[in-house]
Structure 1
C-alpha cells in the first residue's frame, strides 16, 4: 500500500532521509545493494512512501510529519500549542511537551487545594 504525500512533505522527507537514514549513502540505498549501486527509492519518489524501512524506522523521529502522514484520520491537535501529534491513548488532549507542563500545573493545583483543607 502506497501512502500518498504532498510535494511539501516530500521535501521534508528527503531532508529527514539525508539526516537520519542509516541506509542512505551518497544517494544510494544499502538495502538494495546487490553488487551494483541503486538509487534510494524514497529520495526519488515525489508522491508516496515506498520504503518500509523509512516508514518504520526513520519517519517516527519527526513526530509532526509522522502524524501528518501516517495518522491522517486519527491525528490530534494539541489544545495548548495547536501542533499535531500521534495520540498514545484515545483520550489524550496534549502533545508530549505540553502534557508534562500541564501535569505539573494540575499537581500544583491539587496540592494547593489539599493544603487549604488541612487545619
Structure 2
C-alpha cells in the first residue's frame, strides 16, 4: 500500500474498529506510537481508510477474510464451500484453508468408494 489508501465500506469499517482494540499500541482510544508527551487519538479508530501501517502489517492479518478483502483485492476469491474471502496459493485455488481439508477428505472417500465398487464389479465378471 504505497501511496494509495484503501477505502472501507461501513461493514468493513465496523470490523476494523473491533480489531483496533486488539492492537498492542491501542490504549483507551489513544495510540502509544504517536504519544509524544500528550495523548493522541488512534487514527485507525476514526478513519474510513487503512492509514496505520502498524495496524495493516500486524493486526489486520489476524482476520484472514477481512485482510483478503482489503489488501488483496485483485487476487482474493470467495471460497466455493463456505463463501469466505481468501487469497489462493495458486491460480486453481477454490477453497479457503479451513474448507480445503474437509473437501479433500470427502473427495478422497468418494474416490475410494468408487474404486472399491469397480473392483467388486470386475471380480464378478468371470
TM (norm. structure 1) is 0.85
Residue in structure 2 matching 1:23, options 20, 25, 28: 25
Corresponding position: 1:58 with 2:59: yes
Corresponding position: 1:3 with 2:6: yes
5+ residue gaps, structure 2, are none
Structure 2 partner of 1:105: 106
Once structures 1 and 2 are overlaid, which stretch shifts more, 50-59 or 28-37?
28-37
Matches within 5 A, 1:48-87: 48-87=49-88
TM (norm. structure 2) is 0.81
Structure 2 partner of 1:37: 39
How many Å apart are 1:109 and its aligned residue? 2.9
**Per-residue deviation, residues 6-49 of structure 1 (Å, max 9, x unmatched):** 2221111011111x211101001111122222111101212x11
Q: Choose 1 or 2 for highest CA Rg.
A: 2
1:21 counterpart SS class: coil
Aligned equivalents of 1:87, 1:32: Cα separation in 2: 36
Q: Which has the higher contact order (CA 8 A, sep 6+)?
A: 1
5+ residue gaps, structure 1, are none
Once structures 1 and 2 are overlaid, which stretch shifts more, 81-90 or 21-30?
81-90
Aligned positions, number? 117
Aligned equivalents of 1:80, 1:10: Cα separation in 2: 26
State the superposition RMSD in angstroms.
1.8
Q: After the TM superposition, which segments of 4 or more aligned residues of structure 1 sit over 6 Å from their partners?
A: none
Aligned equivalents of 2:113, 2:63: Cα separation in 1: 37
Structure 1 partner of 2:94: 93
